[in-house]
Structure 1
Amino acid sequence: MRSNFAYDTDRLVQEDQTHILHPWGDLGEPASRNPMIIAEAEGVYVYNSDGHRMLDGIGGLWCVNIGYGREEMVQAIADQVRKLPYCSNFGITATPKSIEFGTRLAGYTPGDLKRVLFTTGGSTAVDSALRFVQFYFNSTGRPNKKHIITRNYAYHGSTYLSASVSGKPGDRGNLDFVTDTVHHLPVPDPYRRPEGMTEEEFCDLKVADLENKILELGPENVGCFIAEPLLASGGVIVPPAGYQKRTRDVCSKYHVLYISDEVVTGFGRLGEIFASEPVFEIVPDIITSAKGLTSGYIPLGAVFISERLYGEVSGEAARGKQFANGFTYSGHPVACAAGLKNLDIIESENILGHVRDLGNYFIESLSKLEELPIVGIVRGSHLVACVECVADKKTKEPVPASFDIGNRIGVHARARGLMVRPMGHLAVLSPPLIVTREQIDTIVEIMEQAINAAVDDLVREGLWNK
């Protein structure tokens, strides 16, 4: 607990309830659910407005990869603000920082993905990638290739198009989406594969889902398949081994573009700057990125496009044509300066190696929670994980939504000094990449206590039998 915090929590809560509309907030209970005011942070810890310290087990929102309070980031941002706080990146205008950052990033991208379009975040990166697919096929005389294939439980963003290709059931209430050209495949979740089916057979089935959908729609009508290497916000669902490579091969077979959405998995979360090739053995046509791109210090997104694709829509034959897609803050010089310094820190401190060294320990340590009666599975990769609570381990039936188990675990964890991300019957963890072995032990210890305390609540209310 920090002392001398000069924040009036009661006033902040009242003003928040009066004026602020929170994304994914419960609109039916704005007054009864007091917001948690996060006021300060350092390293892997955040402090609420009362000075209570919590280990940030969710890394902001999968994004504060290098940790909080990095003075070199503060200095890089301040220096760029003094020098040039803003410049449009449209047309023929550029800045030294956007050019330098794009060039540095191209040294990490797989294959020939050497062309970068900067955006403002993950949603606008995905939206821009999908619009480039439309532009590409329209420009190359294949205007029928408009259909997009995605997956249930995917999350790709909150713009109209990126939300349409998302597939989390809880995000689709009372909103409208593109439905005529967007198609969702069943989620490739090995935990819920049919009884008696091996993981290899399940992989065959999920790959067949993609190929069958392409054939159903007609390859001449399908533009792209968009996929997170692992479905992050959908519950850290790790597809069966070989799934990514085999779906990439299917796309290549039918001339369908493959978009790898690395907004979460990029910039060290899986021990690589881009996980597509080194972790999953694929070279996609397009990669989207954000979050860890600047470690969340300033919003920035990016789309990485194959030189092959770019070459087909540029050059002498494209004279007079434009890819008319961009944002006021595309290639923002201060954001690019932050991105460059973020990359400097990742490289100089060997954060990628640190993640590779600790990744197995993180998942294996959390897996001990599967011994608890309510925990069905702990899944994940490197420094991203999900604890799934079930009502019955044999049937894998989720804990009923009315039990609010995720939020209960979150409340008990925060009281003990750990922030987790509750999502229905799930609890997600993705700490800053600088987390230590000892801090991982603390995460596991608090998670066990919080889960047990949440179960005790259910028992007292007559909802659960121990």
Structure 2
Amino acid sequence: MNKVPGSQWNASETEDAARLHLLSPAEAMEKLGQSSRPVIAYGEGIYVVDTKGRRLIDGPGGMWCTQIGYNRHEIADAIAQQALRLAYNSPWYTTNSPAAELAARIAALTPGDLNRVFFTTGGSTAVDSALRFVEFHNNVLGRPEKKHIIVRREGYHGSTALTAACSGRAGNWPNFDIVSDRISFISSPNMRFAGGKDEAGFLDWLVDEFQQEIARIGADKVAVFLAEPLLASGGVIIPPKGYHARFKAVCEEHDIVYISDEVVTAFGRCGEWFASEKVFGVVPDIITFAKGVTSGYVPLGGFAISERLLEKVSGDKAKGSHYSNGYTYTGHPVSCAAALANIGVIEKDGILDHVREISGYFAERLHSLTDLPLVADVRASGLVGCVECLIDRSSADATDIDKRIGARIDAHCAELGLIVRPLGNMCVMSPPLVITRAQIDDMIAILRQGILRTAVEIEQGELV
């Protein structure tokens, strides 16, 4: 059997090693060691190729992150050159040129006065570190009771102990110990659960619920509201127009920090460097980012923070304090060099303009699937979208059988040349930002066939 590209092993040897020795995220423990996931050998453009030779459109864009696509030599060269020049420095005692330059570049791209950047290892640690800054901030200000975090059902913020507790997808919780004494959840801004209200009426209801939750806890105890601009892993839930500005105004009234979790939406996914202000109408106090900052080539995350917040706990007001949160790989020079190269490619190739130009077509083609019997809803913003499927399309809730639909659609689509990210009864699509109209057509045509094949299985009683 032929060797896997870039490896000394063949496909069978690689799959056996994965089956016997890898513990993967979301591992089904009952089947541990019985099979391995498809092994991806290499990628090019918007496509990946597995060890069986299947060429697949990368519908989820890796994990919402492969903005500029695969096999870009600009990024690989930048990584190699920086690794040879300086592979590592200790962020506790020194810094490096790529980290300093990247911080300045990001500060120039953020809205408002978010001019200082802290680097982490990825999205989970970015959100965790931002929340820890809010804790630090209130402790220095002499407000140790102001620590409560308000988040939303169906939101997702990471896999550290704290960020997992802030993630409102209950399916992530079983058999883990979830911190809950200072975290509370308010409703998802999903219009499917508006109970007959129009968009404006639903928004008023959501704002009122937020205000009531603050009153219940006590404004002197609520520290932060943490929200994705759109709820990505919750199924690309797009809030009513004006939602974020209304919630930010409530936060300002009660001296609550507003964190915009842009781990998914930043660096072009919605056609802007950061989506908070230009797409969703809010200038937050802190923005978290990861994923698209390097287009997934190497791990990197971080947060940008308002000068207004920093001013309260720095200089003469610091009281001798240190923001001692940090990581071995904070500001890693190779990752920061990759991010600088990634930003360069996005600028050189006009990728943000391309996303803004093509996103309407992407949404239109996704909505063309609404004629199918299983499709209950379609949502899209920029180049991220979701097709929600239900056997009973008039229902707002997914049954146990519904929750298996996404996996079946994904399996059929993989046979036809497309990876889909299944989330229960939902199919999420967030392809590389360099996708063309013709490639969108290919993607939607395969997704249509996957949905139709799954509908036939349901009719024949095979999905039980």
TM-score (norm 1): 0.96
Residue of structure 2 equivalent to 1:209:
209
Q: Does 1:24 align with 2:26?
A: yes
Shift of 1:457: 2.0
Is 1:72–2:77 an aligned residue pair? no
Q: SS at 2:225's partner residue?
A: strand
Show CA shifts across 1:252-296 (max 9, x none): 111111000000000000000111111111111111000001111
Alpha-carbon spacing, 1:453–1:221, altered in 2? closer, same or farther (3 Å): same
- The 1-side partners of 2:424 and 2:24 are apart by 18
1:284 corresponds to which letter in structure 2?
P
Q: Distance in 2 between matches of 1:319 and 1:395?
A: 56
8 Å CA contact retained: 1:67, 1:434: yes
Superposition pairs for residues 211-360 of structure 1, below 5 Å?
211-318=211-318, 320-360=320-360
**What residue in structure 2 maps to residue 381 of structure 1?**
381
Hey, what's the Cα distance between the residues in 2 that align with 1:353 and 1:114? 24
Q: Secondary structure at the match of 1:305?
A: strand
Does the aligned pair in 1 maintain the 2:3–2:10 contact within 8 Å?
no
Q: Per-residue deviation at 1:199?
A: 1.5
Write out aligned runs for 1:401-412 (5 A): 401=401, 404-412=404-412
1:46-99 Cα distance to aligned partner (Å, 9 max, x none): 0001211001011110001010010011111111001000001124x1101100
Give the secondary-structure state (helix, strand or coil) at the position aligned to 1:114.
Answer: strand
Alignment of 1:154 with 2:189, yes or no, is no
CA–CA separation in structure 1 for the residues paired with 2:70 and 2:391: 37
Code of the aligned partner of 1:88: S
Q: What's the CA shift for 1:33?
A: 4.8
Q: CA deviation at 1:219?
A: 0.7
8 A Cα contact 2:227 2:259, kept in partner? yes
Amino acid aligned to 1:426: M
| Secondary structure, aligned partner of 1:115 | strand
Give 1:143's aligned amino acid: P
Aligned equivalents of 1:355, 1:340: Cα separation in 2: 20
Distance 2:453 2:444 in 1: 14
Aligned to 1:106: 107
Q: Measure, in 1, the Cα distance between the counterparts of 2:265 and 2:170.
A: 22
Report 1:28-39 matches (<5 A): 28-31=30-33, 33-39=35-41
CA distance in 2, matches of 1:133, 1:54: 42
- Give the stretch that moved more between structures: 45-54 or 316-325: 316-325
Name the CA shift for 1:228/1:402 in 2 (closer, same or farther; >3 Å): closer
Residue of structure 1 aligned with 2:55, choices 36, 53, 70? 53
2:192 match:
191
Distance 1:221 1:355, change over 3 A: same
User: In the alignment, which residue of structure 2 is the partner of 1:180?
Assistant: 181
CA contact (8 A) 2:127 2:157 kept: yes
Q: Could you tell me how far apart the structure 1 residues matched to 2:445 and 2:387 are?
A: 14
CA distance in 2, matches of 1:24, 1:388: 21
Map 1:6-21; keep pairs closer than 5 Å. Answer: 8-21=10-23
- Of all paired residues, the percent bearing the same amino acid is 47
Point out the more displaced range, 452-461 or 272-281: 452-461
TM-fit CA distance, 1:14: 2.1
What letter corresponds to residue 83 of structure 1 in structure 2?
R
C-alpha separation in 2, matches of 1:233 and 1:44:
21
Alpha-carbon distance in structure 2 between the residues aligned to 1:54 and 1:276: 32
Q: What is the one-letter code of the residue matched to 1:184?
A: F
Q: Distance in 1 between matches of 2:212 and 2:439?
A: 46
Provide the C-alpha distance between the structure 2 equivalents of 1:308 and 1:88, rounded to a whole number of angstroms. 29
Q: Is the 8 A contact 2:127 2:288 kept in 1?
A: yes
1:324-369 CA-to-partner distances (Å, cap 9, x unmatched) read 1000000000000000000011111111110000111101111111
**Could you say if the C-alpha distance between residues 214 and 233 of structure 1 is closer, same or farther in structure 2, counting changes exceeding 3 Å?**
same
Matched residue SS, 2:386: strand
- SS at 2:388 equivalent: strand
Aligned match for 2:91, one of 81, 84, 89: 89
The separation in 2 between residues aligned to 1:414 and 1:279, in whole angstroms, is 33
Amino acid at match of 2:362: F
What runs of 5+ residues in structure 1 fail to find an aligned partner?
none
**Aligned-pair CA distance for 1:395:** 2.4
Gaps of 5+ in 2: none
2:154 matches 1:164: no
Partner of 1:143 in structure 2? 144
Matches of 2:107 and 2:368 in 1, distance apart? 40
Equivalent AA in structure 2 for residue 359 of structure 1: S
- After superposition, the C-alpha distances for 1:396-438 in whole angstroms (9 at most, x for unaligned) are 3425347621111001111111111011111100000000010
Alignment partners' CA distance in 1, 2:326 and 2:450: 45
Q: CA deviation at 1:237?
A: 0.7
In structure 2, distance between residues paired with 1:463 and 1:136 = 52
8 A contact 1:399–1:405 mirrored in 2: no
Sort the Cα spacing of 1:231 and 1:40 in 2 relative to 1 into closer, same or farther, 3 A.
same
2:71 and 2:61 map into 1 onto residues whose CA distance is 13
Comparing 236-245 and 266-275, the one that deviates more: 236-245
CA contact (8 A) 2:404 2:425 kept: yes
Q: Return the alpha-carbon distance in structure 2 between the equivalents of residues 108 and 462 of structure 1.
A: 51
SS in structure 2 of the partner of residue 296 of structure 1: coil
Whether the aligned pair in 2 keeps the contact of 1:267 and 1:274 (CA below 8 Å) is yes
Deviates further, 152-161 or 23-32: 23-32
Q: Which amino acid in structure 2 is aligned with residue 183 of structure 1? A: S
Are 2:119 and 2:303, in contact at CA under 8 Å, matched by a contact in 1? yes
User: Residue type of the partner of 2:203?
Assistant: C
Distance 1:17 1:187 in 2: 37
Contact between 1:391 and 1:397, CA under 8 Å: does it hold in 2?
A: no
TM-score, normalised by the number of residues in structure 2: 0.96
Instruction: In structure 2, give the amino acid aligned to 1:450.
Output: G
Equivalent in the alignment of 2:453: 453
Aligned length: 460
Instruction: Decide which moves more: 305-314 or 328-337.
Output: 305-314
Distance 1:303 1:433 in 2: 23
Kept after mapping to 1: 8 A contact 2:19/2:35: no
Note the C-alpha offset of 1:133: 0.2
Distance 1:258 1:148 in 2: 10
Instruction: For 1:386 and 1:412, locate their aligned partners in 2 and report how far apart those are by CA, in whole Å.
Output: 17
CA contact (8 A) 1:5 1:50 kept: no
SS of equivalent to 2:109: coil
Shift of 1:31: 4.7
Distance 1:462 1:17, change over 3 A: closer
**Structure 1 position 417 matched with structure 2 position 417:** yes
Cα distance in 2 between the residues matched to 1:87 and 1:462: 56
Deviation, structure 1 residue 4: 7.5
